[in-house]
Chain A
Amino acid sequence: MGGLAHYLEEDGLATTQISLIRLHSEKTRPPRALWVPFELGRPLGPPNDAPFQRRVLMAVLELLGAESGPLLVDYPEEAAKATEDEMEGWVCPINLSPPAPNGDGETRQHEIESEMKSLWPWYDLAMENRSSSNLGASGLTLDQARDVVLSFAKGEPSEAPVPGVSTAEGLRLAVDDIKAFYVDAATAQPGNASGRDIQDWFWRETAFAGLLQRLRKKLMASTDEELAEAGEWFLVPSSHWLEESYYR
């Protein structure tokens, strides 16, 4: 991001920016930067908190009034975290069925289908409240996206599942759409759950995440280099590369 600021200023445009990794801004020295202490993915702070976002926005815009730089200013306000009551209220409504012990592939497929069905009412509620979703990057319906992922898990991968992009990219987009569905459902009720809270729920408690953990290991051994790379890096975040006993 700091590099972009250099190029734009050289070309005559004033810039100001948010910095997430302070170390990187120290190295690239953008003309004006506001370092914020929020988690990656939330540079303006918590969702649905317009006053908070406005304060951050004003702080970064006000750097435009500086007479010289480079400036790297620390934003002093922390984002609020969920209380225990809010977390309880957030987790409990989504009552996932218990995992089938030693389930074979077919059992796991049914588990995932059943799990996704149980999440639909929460997804619908989320859409009523916010009328937007990140679902749709693949262009597939949710059922189609699920079937694409299952086809890879079964060892009979769909070829070119998404028109215009490679097989590996198509898989990645299908996975991202399903993750978006789960996260939309999980955040249907308002609360201050952090991204980490939601990731922990998804990766430790859902059958679909268990499938992705297994698929990651399977694809890493693929002779198709692009699929092996997608499997290793773009299905599961490194914060949740879990041992088998920690996922479903």
Chain B
Amino acid sequence: MARLEDIDALMREELIELECPEFDDDPWVTAPALADCRVAVISTAGLQRRGDRPFELGTADYRVILGETVAEDLIMSHVSTNFDRAGYQQDMNVCFPIDRLNELAEEGVIGSVAKFHYSFMGATEPEEMEAPTRQLAGLLKADDVNAVLLVPI
């Protein structure tokens, strides 16, 4: 029901009015064939390793999530109350599809899965996430990542 008409009126209005960053150009990097892609996930679900610092309102920092993460190592500390968490609580793959990616890698559908993945908390101004995202670009390349899967919440 991520159709605007299915969202409660207050939040729908907020989403419609939300200012989005505008760009003058359309950058494009040609990806390798899927079987040669090393894929990393960047989530905006406010995910963190258990014991790591919880996300706080307005912060544009990110948390590192290891590729071998299992559900019991992961916690969601997003500040927003306005999305479903019950799905995630039953199965982290609804927003952090690491098991599905590992299955695709084992079958050779994708090349491999990155060693490190990352999460922001999406209730932050996108412009404030520019600097940490550009920092992540270097870290992702150091992990030989050549395709990034971005997953909102």
| Residues of A bordering B, CB below 8 Å | 1-24, 27-31, 35-48, 50, 53-54, 57-58, 60-62, 64-65, 67-70, 130-134, 136-138, 164-166, 169, 172-173, 176, 179-180, 183-184, 186-187, 193-196, 198-199, 229, 233-239, 241
Contacts and interface: CB of A to CB of B under 8 A. Distances in A.
Contact of A39 (B1, B56, B148, B149): B1
B148 A195 contact: no
B82 A237 contact: yes
Contacts of A12: 29, 137, 141
B151 A50 contact: no
Contacts, number: 285
Contacts of B133: 3-4, 7-8
Most buried by B among A15, A42, A169, A239: A42
B121 interface: no
Contacts of A235: 81
A194 B84 contact: yes
A24 B148 CA distance: 19
Given A11-B137, A12-B137, A21-B15, A38 B2 contact: yes
A238 B82 contact: yes
Given A4-B150, A43-B153, A199-B84, A38 B1 contact: yes
Contacts of A39: 1-2, 6, 83-84, 87
Contacts of A5: 150
B95 to A, nearest CB: 6
Contacts of B122: 1
Nearest to B90: A47
B92 A132 contact: yes
B75 interface: yes
Given A7-B133, A28-B20, 14 more contacts: A14-B146, A15-B150, A16-B31, A17-B152, A18-B151, A23-B4, A37-B1, A42-B87, A44-B151, A47-B88, A165-B56, A187-B89, A199-B84, A239-B82
List the 9 closest A-B pairs by CB distance, nearest first: A195-B84, A41-B84, A47-B91, A132-B71, A17-B150, A3-B126, A14-B31, A11-B137, A41-B83
B77 A15 contact: no
Given A1-B44, A4-B126, A43 B151 contact: yes
7 contacts: A3-B21, A8-B140, A21-B15, A42-B84, A134-B89, A196-B1, A234-B80
A236 B82 CA distance: 8
A229 to B, nearest CB: 8
Contacts of A131: 71-72
A57 B34 CA distance: 12
Given A47-B94, A196-B84, A238-B8, A173 B77 contact: yes
Contacts of B75: 134, 136-137
A9 B34 contact: no
Contacts of A198: 84, 86
B149 A61 contact: yes
Nearest to B153: A41
A22 B152 CA distance: 12
A90 B24 CA distance: 50
Nearest to A70: B26
Given A3-B129, A23-B4, A44-B97, A133 B81 contact: no
A1 B150 contact: yes
Contacts of B27: 6, 9-10, 31
B11 to A, nearest CB: 5
A137 B47 CA distance: 10
A215 to B, nearest CB: 13
A180 B87 CA distance: 11
